[in-house]
Amino acid sequence: MTSDHSGMRLLPTNECLDLLRSQVVGRLAISIDHYPDIFPLNYVVDHGAIVFRTAAGTKLAAAVCGRGVAFEADGLDPISGEAWSVVAKGQAVEIELRDEVFEATELPLYSWHAAPSHHFVRIEPTEISGRRFSVVDAGRGGDPNDHAVRAAPE
């Protein structure tokens, strides 16, 4: 494991995938009309791909239009005081072949929203990066907001 210039530990791909498997909620970043947008969603990792369900609409159309997407999930271990963040970049494709849709319905992936989510999407990562870092203890005066640079006087 290597560290970057700030002391964060860079994670190998297999550990990034293990961390992604440990969570159920992440964020999908897509471009809509030349502006970034981010959608929280629940997901599963299946054979190294990130799979989620969605309804027809803007999120689905923008995700699978071929421009590429980013997916991010993170977590915190309060006992060790370490946090982590993983970002996967790649192409999103709608799962449409009958056999693949049938396999996707067997995944432990449940919609949290009442609206029907009949479309399955698979993100095939071409790049995965992750970092672990120690969380500053706010109880010792280490609140990161205490040292934030202000853009304008208060």
Q: What is the pLDDT of residue 100?
A: 87
Q: What is the mean pLDDT of residues 87-94?
A: 96
Right CATH for 2-134 from 3.40.640.10, 2.30.110.10, 2.30.33.40, 3.40.50.410: 2.30.110.10
| pTM to 2 decimal places | 0.80
Residue bearing tokens 């290597």: 2
For residue 99, CA distances in Å to 52, 85, 96, 144 come to 17, 33, 9, 49
Tell me if 19 sits within 8 A of 130, measured CB to CB.
yes
**Average pLDDT score, the chain:** 85
DSSP 3-state percent helix, strand, coil across the chain (nearest 5): 20, 45, 35
Tell me if 93 sits within 8 A of 64, measured CB to CB.
yes
pLDDT score of 144 more than 60:
no
Predicted confidence (pLDDT) per residue in 106-134, tens digit: 888 877 777 778 889 999 999 999 999 99
Residue bearing tokens 């990034």: 16
Predicted confidence (pLDDT) per residue in 68-83, tens digit: 999 999 999 888 889 9
3-state secondary structure 10-75: ECCHHHHHHHHHCCCEEEEEEEECCEEEEEEEECEEECCEEEEEECCCHHHHHHCCCCCEEEEEEE
